Amino acid sequence: MTTPTQIRAPRGPNRTAKGWIQEAAKRMLMNNLDPEVAEHPEDLIVYGGRGKAARDWPSFHKIVEVLDRLENDQTLLVQSGKPVAVLTTHALAPRVLIANSNLVPHWANWETFDKLDQAGLMMYGQMTAGSWIYIGTQGILQGTYETFASAANKHFGGTLKHTITVTAGLGGMGGAQPLAVKLAGGVSINIEVDPTRIQKRLDTRYLDTVAPDLDAALKLAKDAKREGQALSIGLLGNAAEIVPELVRRGFTPDLVTDQTSAHDPMWGYLPPAQADEDLGELRRSQPETYLERARAGMAEHVRAMLELQKRGAVAFDYGNNLREQARIAGVANAFDYPGFVPAFIRDSFCEGRGPFRWVALSGDPADIYATDQALLELFTDDQRLQSWLTYAAKEIAFQGLPARICWLGYRERDRAAKLFNEMVADGRLSAPIVIGRDHLDAGSVASPYRETEAMLDGSDAVSDWPLLNFAVGVASGAGWMSFHHGGGVGMGYSQHSGLVAVADGSEEAAWRLSRCLTNDPAMGVIRHADAGYTLAQDVARERGLDLPSLGI
Ligand code: NAD
């Protein structure tokens, strides 16, 4: 039996499973737990607080075993990280169907979840942890870059040059922030309470340097800002103390945000503590006190962000539900600064644009470089894509299986997938390619404090849409589909679905890809057109969607 910390996906063109979708699912599950990829693989934790790939080690091993014997007309059912059944379906059905962390709405809270989790009945799937399509910090890098680049366009004349961003959290997702700000031309101070996370970002070149204390961080940042130099600075400390300290000192950054795991107040956000205090012990022995202190810390943190906003900083929430935790702790105006989706991303969603990602099952970086080149030639007019892919090919360190991400929209993803499938078929790629996406996408999530915050028609909390998205993926030939609850912002606050497909060069794959990668991003256009966004309605009209209720 593999020992937990040694997990590494098989590579190369030969498979032990009976089809490439099963083999891909197995490799991607294992890749999620590769120590290069996962934040805490020994506990099956991939990223995002406690986002897990499988419920426990016996479940992990059982899933691997089943995927190796699963026939090409069968489907494996996974319930919160545990393989519960194999059913005979049909050749074009998904090979795996996954449901993670779902609770009936009245009980959809951390308290209920924790009881079930401790009883061994559930696990937290986050978004791409439990659906086996996490690709390390690169997975969020381009989205984070899109956000900061949009902020630059909206507020700073198109570049973050000569600006300082203050943020916190250098975990699996948050670790993309320093590099994204740098790519947009700016300086960042990145507060992180865990020194091992700072080291990991230094090692993988997501972070340039670490300052020994706040004074040094501010000096480095101000010097770099003056020089117009892009620089990322790590700073060990607690955001609930350091951000208020910035207010006390009268230092106002140009932008302020946060990506600690605030969505999970019990396990994700660390309250300020004495140097010798054991927070783990406090959490165990006095959970109520721990929770109160974590929320009090978040309240201080948000009060300071609101004050910085008042003093002129561009403040935005980065999708971790920090504002809601602060509101619960008594900060009545916590929502005075906006979330990043309404502030910067919604127009992309109206075009079905979102994070399209792919992984080379060969394990050979050359396959990814070949796909980079192919997309550069396919989408010659997309300047953002051109500069991103050119940069990424040169600068991004792979984690685990070589992978890439870029944002593509409706009627683009299916073209990219078709091309990849042809490249596998004619031998330009040495093994099949896995194609997937984050659950954070244009039409796949209902999350009123994040992706669906401030929808034009007030439909923020309507979760029919992610359910339809899940069903559409199943009906359209996806390789595996997932439906989760609580990703990004925590229990009770979101429902979302995920899609993964496999390009193995076969005709069957071409059939599946053309349908599922057309219909999946279509859901983004449909959802936003229905909510009244004229941009989405125009896209629907121009690109030939049939929307009867809108007369389109
Ligand atoms: P993670 O758990 O891997 O990392 C969180 C980091 O925050 C950890 O390294 C932790 O040590 C640090 N931290 C906790 N409390 C702190 C404090 N008080 N001060 C300083 N550092 C502290 O999580 P992640 O995958 O990086 O995700 C971070 C958050 O962002 C989550 O809430 C996640 O749901 C959300 N998220 C946002 C997006 C997006 O696109 N906006 C995408 C995915 C996830």
Closest residue CA from atom 3 of ligand 1: 171
Give me the CATH number covering residue 222.
Answer: 3.40.50.10730
Per-residue pLDDT band at 469 (split at 50, 70, 90): very high
Question: Are 177 and 309 within one domain?
Answer: yes
- At 297, list the tokens: 């810390």
488 Cα nearest atom in ligand 1: 34
What is the residue-averaged pLDDT of the chain? Answer: 96
* Higher-confidence position of 141 and 124: 124
Ligand 1 pocket residue status of 168, Cβ below 6 Å: yes
262 Cα nearest atom in ligand 1: 32
Beta strands at 209-211 and 231-236: parallel, antiparallel or unpaired: parallel
Question: Are 302 and 381 within one domain?
Answer: no
Which residues are part of the catalytic machinery? 406
* Higher-confidence position of 138 and 548: 548
Condensed to tens digits (0 to 9), the pLDDT of residues 482-534 reads 999 999 999 999 999 999 999 999 999 999 999 999 999 999 999 999 999 99
Question: Are 233 and 202 within one domain?
Answer: yes
Q: Mark which of 338, 360, 394 sits at the end of a domain.
A: 338
Ligand 1 pocket residue status of 139, Cβ below 6 Å: no
* Pairwise CA distance, residues 192 & 173, whole Å: 13
Report if residue 90 sits inside a domain.
no
Report if residue 151 sits inside a domain.
yes
Question: Are 419 and 353 within one domain?
Answer: yes
| Residue 317 identity (one-letter amino acid) | D
Q: Which of 91-95, 135-139, 278-282, 463-467 has the lowest mean pLDDT?
A: 135-139
Average pLDDT over residues 102-113: 97
Report if residue 304 sits inside a domain.
yes
39 Cα nearest atom in ligand 1: 3
Q: Which of 128-137, 143-152, 485-494 has the lowest mean pLDDT?
A: 143-152
- At 53, list the tokens: 């790939």
174 labelled ligand-binding:
yes
Number of helices and strands (H, E) in the chain? Answer: 19, 17
Ligand 1 pocket residue status of 143, Cβ below 6 Å: yes
Question: Are 319 and 385 within one domain?
Answer: no
Question: Are 381 and 527 within one domain?
Answer: yes
Ligand 1 pocket residue status of 355, Cβ below 6 Å: no
pLDDT at 163: 98
Contacts of 196 (CB under 8 A, 6+ apart): none
Report if residue 114 sits inside a domain.
no
Report if residue 22 sits inside a domain.
no
The Cα-based distances of 53 to 1, 79, 134, 285, 358 in angstroms read: 17, 12, 9, 28, 18
Residue 116 phi, psi (nearest 5): -70, -40
Query: Range of 438's domain?
Result: 347-464+498-544
Report if residue 124 sits inside a domain.
no
| Residue the block writes with tokens 């006095």 | 286
Give me the CATH number covering residue 352.
Answer: 3.40.1770.10
Report if residue 387 sits inside a domain.
yes
Report if residue 200 sits inside a domain.
yes
Question: Are 334 and 358 within one domain?
Answer: no
Tell me how far the alpha carbon of residue 171 lies from the centroid of ligand 1, in angstroms: 5
Domain count for the chain, please give it: 2
Question: Are 378 and 319 within one domain?
Answer: no
pLDDT at 1: 44
Tell me how far the alpha carbon of residue 10 lies from the centroid of ligand 1, in angstroms: 29
269 labelled ligand-binding:
yes
Condensed to tens digits (0 to 9), the pLDDT of residues 189-240 reads 999 999 999 999 999 889 999 999 999 999 999 999 999 999 999 999 999 9
Condensed to tens digits (0 to 9), the pLDDT of residues 405-455 reads 999 999 999 999 999 999 999 999 999 999 999 999 999 999 999 999 999
Tell me how far the alpha carbon of residue 132 lies from the centroid of ligand 1, in angstroms: 19
pLDDT at 273: 94
Question: Are 312 and 427 within one domain?
Answer: no
Question: Are 450 and 431 within one domain?
Answer: yes
Please check the confidence at residue 2 and state whether its pLDDT lies above 60.
no
125 labelled ligand-binding:
no
* Pairwise CA distance, residues 241 & 347, whole Å: 35
Closest residue CA from atom 14 of ligand 1: 269
pTM: 0.89
Q: Mark which of 290, 309, 338 sits at the end of a domain.
A: 338
| Residue the block writes with tokens 């593509």 | 408
Q: Mark which of 338, 357, 380 sits at the end of a domain.
A: 338
Number of neighbours of residue 456 by Cβ within 10 angstroms: 14
Ligand 1 pocket residue status of 197, Cβ below 6 Å: yes
Ligand 1 pocket residue status of 141, Cβ below 6 Å: no
Ligand 1 pocket residue status of 194, Cβ below 6 Å: yes
Question: Are 380 and 411 within one domain?
Answer: yes
Condensed to tens digits (0 to 9), the pLDDT of residues 23-34 reads 999 999 999 999
Question: Are 281 and 389 within one domain?
Answer: no
